[in-house]
Structure 1
């Protein structure tokens, strides 16, 4: 797989590439958990297993979240790009098997369009670094589950206030 990856200094110069503002907007529309998984991977360079352990999520959820990010970063209606994105994410998983790597190689060799779609997926992934830095500028994504929602906290506070009323301590 490493020989398929492009050099880091290769910048996306395609007409289909979205600009940073459009990518940032697309990332902001994703659920907070998806954003958090993406930022932990992209900015902190944590692998899927480390993210899964840190957030107490199954590896398949991490893969699904990363697929959502790539889907948001590509033009809609491009089915081949979707398949390339799925392969790109799956190959990063520690659960990828040798058979899957062989299947990927067969898919890649089946048509020149497959290689081009995978190449564009790599470029798309690289183009997400700038918007990722903007999205995670205040490091909110490094906090645990409590940082994502106040729902559980609100319930606890509500129960505490109800208990105070019930016991007559609230006056």
Structure 2
């Protein structure tokens, strides 16, 4: 999703969020959503390649990408939400010719639609720096989202406690 679908122009009313704000919003996402987002944004993998790599349905990859993009849109902005959904859907290998026609109709229906879609494309570009920070240690390239050492310790401790409780150690 690195190519722009509309010509790049600057719109003064577009929401300018700082990299730190964007990074904090991305960090709030579930790890799997972060992983899908980073594989797309940093490694520039297609939805199909991400789906194959993570053994996920293509629609799940699309849903995760939509969730990532929606997390950094202006709140309560219906047009931004719709534009984000179109932006993600158009990147999907499952998008149909009919959907592309529907998108074109939506885009041409009002100048506000074009502006919202353009703002979404600009927002996507601004996510590169926060994405680099989020994926700085390449954790997202693992087949499964990395499990923390602390999480493993807790799981082992709970398993040992359960074994002790049923008298396995007697």
Query: Normalising by structure 1, what TM-score?
Result: 0.83
- Is 1:122 the counterpart of 2:121? The answer is yes
The aligned runs of 1:52-67 (5 Å cut-off) are: 52-67=51-66
Question: Can you list the C-alpha shifts for 1:46-91, whole angstroms capped at 9, x where unaligned?
Answer: 0000001111111111111111111111110100000000000000
Q: Which moved more, 1:67-76 or 1:93-102?
A: 67-76
Q: Displacement, 1:12?
A: 8.0
Q: Displacement, 1:6?
A: 4.0
- Is 1:5 the counterpart of 2:6? The answer is yes
Q: Are the counterparts in 2 of residues 12 and 123 from structure 1 also a CA contact under 8 Å?
A: no
Query: Normalising by structure 2, what TM-score?
Result: 0.84
Q: 1:83 to 1:124 in 2, by over 3 A?
A: same
- Is 1:166 the counterpart of 2:165? The answer is no
Q: 1:143 to 1:12 in 2, by over 3 A?
A: farther
Where structure 1 has 5 or more consecutive residues not aligned to the other structure, the ranges are none
**Cα RMSD (Å):** 2.7
Where structure 2 has 5 or more consecutive residues not aligned to the other structure, the ranges are none
| Count of paired positions | 164
Aligned partners of 2:65 and 2:34: how far apart in 1? 9
1:147 paired residue number:
146
2:91 paired residue number:
92
